[in-house]
Structure 1
Amino acid sequence: MADQYFAEQPTAPSSPVPARLDVAGLSLTVTTDSGVFSRGRLDTGTRVLLEHAPEPETGGDLLDLGCGWGPIALWLATVRRRSTVWAVDVNARALDLVRANAAAAGLRNVRACRPDEVPEDVVFAGMWSNPPIRAGKAALHELLLSWLPRVGGPSYLVVAKNLGSDSLARWLGDQGYRVARVSSNAGFRVLEVRSGVEE
């Protein structure tokens, strides 16, 4: 089986390459690597998310779930420099890249860590994520049900239409969440997910 970007320890030999992150007012040179999602470029789904999802409404702790090499976390940390941005992934190589990319950009408000390293008492003001759809529906559902209850504000997810964005939206609704489509662009939908309890 080919090495998956959601593996904890990628088996593909490390082969770092630079990439440009030019999106939503952000312009950085970053480092990417094999064994990590979207080596050498900003993927289309994440670009759609960053170009169409709103900036955080407030400060506080912000979450990039499934951060990869860090484009969402770097954007959040730039637009909300007083916020702590939690860049969470199971892939150790991805987390090393996030740390290096944040340091190179002078962003000291990024904390790259594994899921079990996030303190249980942290409540997030918002979440932005290009979730690992290819990990499978069961794993995706478990992931979202673990993290969405920890988000006090809106969560923004980008999902390809042909990979089940509409069925995911219906499933989230069945779990009691309020789901709205923010954007449909380049084959991707950006979903806004909020707690079913009126704030």
Structure 2
Amino acid sequence: MTLFLYLRTSFISTLGLLLISLASFQALAQQDNQAVKTIPSLDVPRYLGTWYEIAKFPNWFQKKCISNTKAAYTAKPDGNLRVLNSCKTVGGETSEAEGLARQIGAKDSPKLEVRFAPEWLSFLPMVWGDYWVIDLDPQYQLAVVSDPSREYLWVLSRTPQLDPKVYADLLQRLQQQHFDIQKLELTSQKN
């Protein structure tokens, strides 16, 4: 009787592990099928300049920002990009963060990495964050940036305000990329 209970318990444990493994495998396969898709190519000189944040997924490093969030990109002589993020805080001050962006892969790659940590830490992989351009209109007036895990999302525009129809169309494209658009927070852009 004890051997029977042992075999039965062992069988149930093995079956449970098999089912958990199968579920994990299916989740990974489904995630691969739903990988974040970038735009085909990025013309970096056209991307340079100022972008206003229209909406974002909430994140810890922008908690102090309450309005007027924007990013300015300029070319550096070494081929990398200077990134200057700024926003207004609750106290009315302007908060700025300067960083560096570099392309990953070909010269027209839409995949970049950014870091805001000091340069002497740039050898550490953890100080670099993925910056993937996943949506961009042909005129380079509206862009969406994310990462492979869909943890971050920014909707950017060359103007502080965005036409509601353009924004609604963009939200549909983001849903097709399996983003939870309910998480998006609109950014206040005041004069």
Fold shared by both chains (TM-score > 0.5): no
Structure showing the higher strand proportion among its residues = 2
Larger Rg, first or second structure (1 or 2): 2
TM-score using structure 2 length: 0.31
TM-score using structure 1 length: 0.31
Q: Larger relative contact order (C-alpha < 8 A, sep ≥ 6)?
A: 2
